[in-house]
Amino acid sequence: MLRIPLIASLLLMGGPWFGAVMLFAAEVDSPTTDETVIVFDQVHVLPMDSERILPNQRVLVQGDRIIALAPADELAIPDGAMRIAGEGRYLLPGLAEMHGHVPPTVDFSGMPARYLDDVLLLYLAGGVTTVRGMLGHEHQLRLKDDIATGKRLGPTLYLAGPSFNQHTVTSPEQARERVRQHKAEGWDLLKIHPGLSLEQYQAIADEAKKQGIDFAGHVPEAVGIEQAIKLGSRTIDHLDGFMAALGGFDTPLTVQDMAELVALTKAHQVAVVPTQALWETIIGAANREQLENFDELKYMPARVLAGWQRYLDSASGAYYTGETAAIHAENRQRLLSALYQAGVTILMGTDAPQLYSVPGLSLRRELPLMAAAGMSHYDILRSGTVLVGEYFADLDTFGQVKKGHRADLLLVDGNPLDDLSVLYQPAGVMVRGQWLSRVDLDAKLAEIEAARVTENTER
């Protein structure tokens, strides 16, 4: 039985979603024209090029780019510009979900027709302006284009293609052919799932290098974390491959136990996407009452929530560790801490929408765990901004508040270097130059919540 696809199809999405139908682009309400200049006035800017704050700045945006940044008294506001009051507020780059999922179509397996657009909006409401989509399916490349060209509202998507696993890969040669096919189709990443042999994995790695495309995701058991790192997996997601190699499921690990693997990760410049909050849930270390009282659950369809509850009810699964889950969770936090201390690149990600990780809003569950592992607030912000920009540097320029960068911005009411929680209720979010004020976001969130209530009463 396929492990992750099973979770993905039955638990996360609420049912199998193979009957893909055509996408219909939703109307985006009155975007500003390409010529309109938008000015963030009198804002304190976190440029994210170093740990500093530039006080009382003016930031000018036109089209999808930041076109100027300077002290407010040194930069005139162009005629006809739209001014956004920034007094006392802080402006930073939009954040990223580096292990995210996007529903396949507007209509699959009994999900509400509006679910896809709701997910895209939830990401934005959570301050997420870039998503590395970790499992591609038919029509998703068109969705990416529709968002990029403004036909549909959502975060910028970079997409992994359909899964490489024991069902889709039959031989090393066929695996190579599939790599070439994914590259030609325009996917940004090859998604690896459990079940591949070492020989198949080696073929994928070698062909990926030749074709200039990254591969990442899970670490197949027959491959192991060491080979995955040495063969150049661009990221290691979930840290479970580390735990498997170190025997961290039931025995406390020391820093010395981890040192060799941590050094190897650093030496090969492999980045990690820890997804700590999700894994606490998956392994059985999370507090069920807390999970079920997350306020953001009100935005998810009943069908999805029912799947999440079924997982908790079953108290089983490939990654579930039951009675030793607390030790396992503590080991994961120690590992994140060790990777961080060693200077390994850590990228922000929560695997939304997975068990109790609501798109965008799941960052408020993940960031406190990153802080608890000893990451500074600045480095946590880096993991979702400048390091993401570096990761996608071949594709676009973003991740800093800087002239020429894509205008993905978060306006918040306090200094996130002092208090990360200011990120969770932004005063507004800009995505590729399109501004969504708090009023806009609240209206859309209220609409999603109301839709969920209506769906439930109609059931």
Residues at the contact surface with Zn ion, assessed by CB under 5 A: 134, 351
Find the shortest distance in angstroms from Cβ 73 to Zn ion: 47
Our CB check for Zn ion shows the closer of 165 and 434 to be 165
Our CB check for Zn ion shows the closer of 117 and 351 to be 351
Task: For residue 383, give the nearest of 412, 420, 427 by alpha carbon.
Answer: 420
Q: CB–CB of 391/347 below 8 Å?
A: yes
Our CB check for Zn ion shows the closer of 391 and 435 to be 391
Find the shortest distance in angstroms from Cβ 244 to Zn ion: 17
Q: CB–CB of 36/82 below 8 Å?
A: yes
Q: What residue has token string 């199809």?
A: 9
Our CB check for Zn ion shows the closer of 6 and 439 to be 6
Our CB check for Zn ion shows the closer of 242 and 435 to be 242
Find the shortest distance in angstroms from Cβ 409 to Zn ion: 27
Find the shortest distance in angstroms from Cβ 66 to Zn ion: 31
Find the shortest distance in angstroms from Cβ 159 to Zn ion: 13
Our CB check for Zn ion shows the closer of 72 and 352 to be 352
Find the shortest distance in angstroms from Cβ 355 to Zn ion: 11
Find the shortest distance in angstroms from Cβ 133 to Zn ion: 9
Our CB check for Zn ion shows the closer of 94 and 353 to be 353
Our CB check for Zn ion shows the closer of 11 and 411 to be 11
- How far does the chain reach from its first CA to its final CA, in angstroms? 32
Our CB check for Zn ion shows the closer of 57 and 383 to be 383
Taking the C-alpha atoms of residue 295 and residue 280, their distance in angstroms, rounded to an integer, is 19
Our CB check for Zn ion shows the closer of 64 and 97 to be 97
Taking the C-alpha atoms of residue 152 and residue 156, their distance in angstroms, rounded to an integer, is 11
Find the shortest distance in angstroms from Cβ 343 to Zn ion: 26
Find the shortest distance in angstroms from Cβ 63 to Zn ion: 33
Edge-to-edge strand ranges of the sheet holding 156-159: 95-100, 128-133, 156-159
Find the shortest distance in angstroms from Cβ 160 to Zn ion: 9
